[in-house]
Amino acid sequence: MTTAVVCDSCAAVVRRPTRQADELVRPLLPALVPWLVNRRWFAHERGCLQALEPLGSSVLAGDPADPDAPVLLHLLLTARHSGSGAPVRRYQLLIGIRRSLPAGLAAARIGIATGGEWDGRYLYEATEDPELMSRLLERSAAGRAEGLQLWLSDGPLDLSGLVPRALSVEQSNTSVVYGDRLMFKLLRSPEPGSHPEVETLRGLTEVGSPRTSGLVGWLGTAGAGAEETVLGVLTEFLPAEGNGWELAVEQAADCLVGNCRVVPAIGGFTTDARALGEAVAELHTALTKAFGRARMESAEVLDQAGGMERRLKAAVRLVPDLEPYAGRIATLYDDYAKVALRGGGEHGQRIHGDLHLGQVLRGVDGWKIIDFEGEPARPAAERGLPQPALRDVAGMLRSFDYAAQQALAEVVRREEQGAAPPEGEPSAVRLRQSRRAYAWAVRNRRAFTAGYAAAGGMDPHCHPVALRAFEADKAVYEAVYEARHRPDWLPIPLAAIQRLVSGR
- Banded pLDDT at 98 (limits 50, 70, 90): very high
Q: Give CA–CA dist 177/121, Å, rounded.
A: 27
Q: Give CA–CA dist 111/321, Å, rounded.
A: 42
Q: Which domains does the chain possess?
A: 8-126 (no CATH), 148-236 (3.30.200), 242-296+346-462 (3.90.1200.10)
Query: Residues 6 or more apart from 200 whose CB is under 8 A from it?
Result: 287, 350, 372, 384
What is the predicted pLDDT for the residue at 19? 33
Whether residue 88 is predicted with pLDDT greater than 50 in this model: the reply is yes
Within 10 Å of residue 167's Cβ, how many Cβ atoms?
A: 13
Query: What CA–CA distances, in Å, run from 268 to 105, 251, 256, 397, 444?
Result: 41, 7, 12, 17, 9
Of all residues in the chain, the percent with pLDDT exceeding 70 is 89
Q: Give CA–CA dist 14/159, Å, rounded.
A: 38
Query: Residues 6 or more apart from 362 whose CB is under 8 A from it?
Result: 240, 241, 242, 243, 244, 247, 272, 368
Q: Give CA–CA dist 470/19, Å, rounded.
A: 46
- Banded pLDDT at 2 (limits 50, 70, 90): very low
SS3 content of the chain, % helix, strand, coil (to 5): 45, 20, 35
Q: Give CA–CA dist 220/140, Å, rounded.
A: 9
Helices (H), 151-291: 196-206, 244-256, 270-291
Average pLDDT over the chain, rounded to an integer: 87
Residue 18 backbone phi and psi in degrees, to 5: -125, 160
Query: Which secondary-structure segment (H or E) carries 182?
Result: strand 182-186
Cβ proximity of 98 and 122 under 8 Å: yes
279-292 pLDDT, tens per residue? 999 999 999 999 99
Total-model pTM: 0.88
Q: Give CA–CA dist 378/114, Å, rounded.
A: 38
267: phi > 0 → left, psi -120 to 50 → alpha, else beta; which?
Answer: left
Q: Give CA–CA dist 493/176, Å, rounded.
A: 33
348-400 pLDDT, tens per residue? 999 999 999 999 999 888 999 999 988 876 776 677 788 999 999 999 999 99
